Amino acid sequence: MKSISTMMMKGGSGKTTLIRVLASAALAKNMKVHLIDMDTDPQASDWPERFRTAPWGNLEKPEWPSDKLTVAGPPTTIEELYEIIAQKEGEGCDLFLIDTRPGAHQDTEDLILATDLVLIPTRPEQADFKKAEQTVEWFAAIVDTLENAADAPQMRTVLTAVQSKMMAVLTGDLDISALNPRDREVLDAIASLPHASTIIPYSKYWIEIAAWGPLSIAADAAAAQSSGKLTARNMRDQIAAAEALLDELLATVPEPEEA
Ligand SMILES: Nc1ncnc2c1ncn2[C@@H]1O[C@H](COP(=O)(O)OP(=O)(O)O)[C@@H](O)[C@H]1O
Ligand SMILES: [Mg+2]
């Protein structure tokens, strides 16, 4: 089992969405996932319930895949978190995800240290980027408190909600001169941070992810219905990008040494 957490001093930067993108990708790869939601906002903490109550128009909604994806609220202590991690690993869980709350909290510091990889999501915009840089510094300060630096999790910034023009520049399809100077400055700043090279595009499917549930399940359900073929195809484009991101991120986590 590998574990991933998010941290970001600023709210609305895409933490919860990023965690759901990764859960969607993991289910597409037939992995078993457990998600811990530390967000105190009840709007955010109830993905299965939001999915169950969301209208799906003329598409038929499947059951929540509770054998593959379990979601739980915050543990009361950090000791309890370590117990849950051990328990889930014992149950054959492949991926353990923790969505933290915004801001610089002590509990976030403890949580991220329990995981293998820490993600700092950021939109390619000045305001987010400054906060991402500060969050990278915050991460470094936490690692500095460790007795053994080898115990530190890996860390990556992840660009999310990237609009098509910047996407085209990042993929090399469009020259950087097509961007305005402010966006070019953001791109330079991105390059200087330890970022994942896979990017999450701006997509209505990620905006609506609470309602769709894990997107791979939604895509399968849509594909099985004649009125859902196009939706399924569009969803699968997003899932392909999400899987590429998950593959890249999991590869940053060293395999545990053989006993
Ligand atoms: N890849 C994306 N494409 C489109 N909208 C996004 C994307 N990622 C995040 N958003 C939107 O940005 C807002 C904040 O995202 P959220 O994941 O809730 O941030 P956080 O958990 O950091 O507060 C939400 O409205 C969400 O739908
Ligand atoms: Mg959130």
d(CA 203, CA 49): 22
Q: DSSP string covering 237-256, please?
A: HHHHHHHHHHHHHHHHSPPP
Average pLDDT across the chain, whole number:
92
CA of 28 to the centre of ligand 1 (A): 21
**What is the predicted pLDDT for the residue at 43?**
57
Q: Could you please report the per-residue DSSP string of 89-117?
A: HHTT--EEEEEPPSS--HHHHHHHHTSSE
Residue whose CB lies within 8 A of the most ligand 1 atoms, among 16, 17, 108, for a mutation test: 17
pLDDT value of residue 42:
59
Distance CA 91, CA 118 (A): 23
Residue owning the nearest CA to atom 26 of ligand 1: 207
Sorted by where each begins, the domain ranges of the chain are 2-252
At residue 55, does pLDDT exceed 90? Answer: yes
Q: Check pLDDT > 60 for residue 117.
A: yes
CATH code linked to domain 2-252: 3.40.50.300
Ligand 1 shell residues, CB under 6 Å: 8, 11-17, 102, 160-161, 200, 202-203, 206-207
Cα of 199 to ligand 1 centre, how many Å?
Answer: 14
Bridge partners of 95?
2, 33
The atom number, within ligand 1, closest to the CA of 39 reads 21
Q: How far apart are the CA of 155 and the centre of ligand 1, in A?
A: 20
Mean pLDDT on 39-47 = 69
Kindly report the backbone phi and psi dihedral angles of residue 203, in degrees, each rounded to the nearest multiple of 5, phi listed first: -150, 140
The predicted-structure confidence for 214-251, as pLDDT tens digits, reads as follows 999 999 999 999 999 999 999 999 999 999 999 999 99
Question: Which residue has tokens 């993600």?
Answer: 119
Contacts of 103 (CB under 8 A, 6+ apart): 9, 11
pLDDT at 88: 97
Is 80 exceeded by the pLDDT of residue 258? no
